[in-house]
Copies of this chain bind each other. A is one copy, B any other.
Amino acid sequence: MRAAIFQGPGNVRVEQVPDAALELDTDALVRVTAASIGGSDLWAYRGYGQRQPGARIGHEFVGLVEDVGAEVRTVRRGDLVLAPFSWSCGVCEFCLRGLTSSCVDGGFFSEPGHDGGQGEAVRVPHADGTLVVVPRSLRGAETRVLPLCDILSTGHHAAVSAQVNYRSTVAVVGDGAVGLCAVLAARRLGARRILVVGHHADRLALAQEFGATDIVEGRGQDAVEDVMARTGGVDAVLECVGAQGAWDTTIAIAKDGATIGYVGVPHLVEGVDVSLLFGRNLAIRGGMCPARAYIPGLLADVLDGTLDASPIFDLTVSLDELTDGYAMMDDRLALKAYVAI
């Protein structure tokens, strides 16, 4: 089969690889119909992180079940399924508590020894714990559910972690795909006011369509002053970047007693100075999104049409054109690439 291979910074190519195949009785084999390029793929493409040349890449995909192992009960051949970016057993202490990202037998698609989402097929470990069946009628409209694999669940994790509710004035730091999904999530949870801090006019315009009430275009001290002038500090900050500058902004715009919901994968972060939090009772919650636990609840709203992150996809590529997708996202000519497979 064909699958994307990370060749090194700035270089992702589609190559022939061994066919994905069942290995364990709890596996499913999924024929990918739609995938996408995510933020952490892009970090790898830019040369950050642990990914070694020759590794698979991609962790967001939807597809048709082609085969299942003998012990798989909840999905069957022909189902259209969605996978979160990590697999999880569904029955360990952490999975039962909803912290599927800490599953004792979990892992990440495209990690060494495992198929990535950007390819023709994927062996899915722990199919029962991992896959979510979606209506077959979504075949051809996968952009509606594909955001659940990562970005929409992650934006939701930021909002839930920050305890966003109807009383909240929320600031979303970051106008990438996750930040935009965090706007959707904050609106869904009833936030009375949603500011978004970013520096891409087109993305900020989309944030406004998604429910942001205040657009703060800028960064650093300028952005802080703008947010403070508008609000005097916010109840919840959704940190959706993972870089030191974003953390500095996040802490500066939080009102005393605020909760920071952080989901930006930490890159180039020096650390959080506890003395900046202490006197103000700022809380920090979040981390790696337990997407599998959130997907059913979010899927309900996706299916009834009240939650739609699909406008984030502003580029469609085929597997053959995948390299172009990376390049355009790297150059910020595209926000997020949909990969039709």
Give the one of A94, A273, A278, A290 with max B CB within 10 A: A278
Kindly state the separation between the CA atoms of A161 and B11 in the bound complex, as whole angstroms. Answer: 46
Residues from chain B with a CB closer than 8 A to the CB of A287 are: 277-282
A-B contact pairs, 14 of them (CB 8 A): A99-B256, A102-B256, A247-B274, A259-B285, A265-B278, A271-B271, A272-B274, A274-B284, A277-B284, A279-B288, A281-B286, A281-B290, A283-B284, A285-B285
Kindly state the separation between the CA atoms of A285 and B281 in the bound complex, as whole angstroms. Answer: 7
A270 within 8 A of B: yes
Copies of this chain assembled into the complex:
2
Residues from chain B with a CB closer than 8 A to the CB of A281 are: 99, 101-102, 286-288, 290
Closest B-chain residue to A103, C-beta based? B256
On whether the beta carbons of A94 and B256 are closer than 8 Å, the reply is yes
A8 within 8 A of B: no
Kindly state the separation between the CA atoms of A99 and B235 in the bound complex, as whole angstroms. Answer: 13
On whether the beta carbons of B270 and A94 are closer than 8 Å, the reply is no
A97 within 8 A of B: yes
Residues from chain B with a CB closer than 8 A to the CB of A247 are: 274
CB of A38, distance to nearest CB on chain B (Å): 16
Kindly state the separation between the CA atoms of A106 and B97 in the bound complex, as whole angstroms. Answer: 40
A269 within 8 A of B: yes
**3 pairs of A and B residues whose beta carbons are closest in the complex:** A271-B271, A102-B256, A281-B287
Kindly state the separation between the CA atoms of A277 and B261 in the bound complex, as whole angstroms. Answer: 12
A262 within 8 A of B: yes
Q: Which of A248-302 contact B (CB under 8 A)?
A: 256-257, 259, 262, 265-266, 269-275, 277-288, 290
Residues of A within 8 A of B (CB): 94, 97, 99, 101-102, 161, 247, 256-257, 259, 262, 265-266, 269-275, 277-288, 290
Looking at the complex, which one of B97, B266, B270 makes contact with A271 (CB distance below 8 Å)?
Answer: B270
On whether the beta carbons of A102 and B278 are closer than 8 Å, the reply is no
CB of A3, distance to nearest CB on chain B (Å): 25
Residues from chain B with a CB closer than 8 A to the CB of A274 are: 247, 262, 266, 269, 271-272, 284
CB of A246, distance to nearest CB on chain B (Å): 11
CB of A13, distance to nearest CB on chain B (Å): 29
CB of A103, distance to nearest CB on chain B (Å): 10
Closest B-chain residue to A282, C-beta based? B287
CB of A244, distance to nearest CB on chain B (Å): 10
Residues from chain B with a CB closer than 8 A to the CB of A259 are: 285
Kindly state the separation between the CA atoms of A279 and B281 in the bound complex, as whole angstroms. Answer: 23
Kindly state the separation between the CA atoms of A286 and B285 in the bound complex, as whole angstroms. Answer: 12
Kindly state the separation between the CA atoms of A337 and B280 in the bound complex, as whole angstroms. Answer: 29
Kindly state the separation between the CA atoms of A277 and B272 in the bound complex, as whole angstroms. Answer: 11
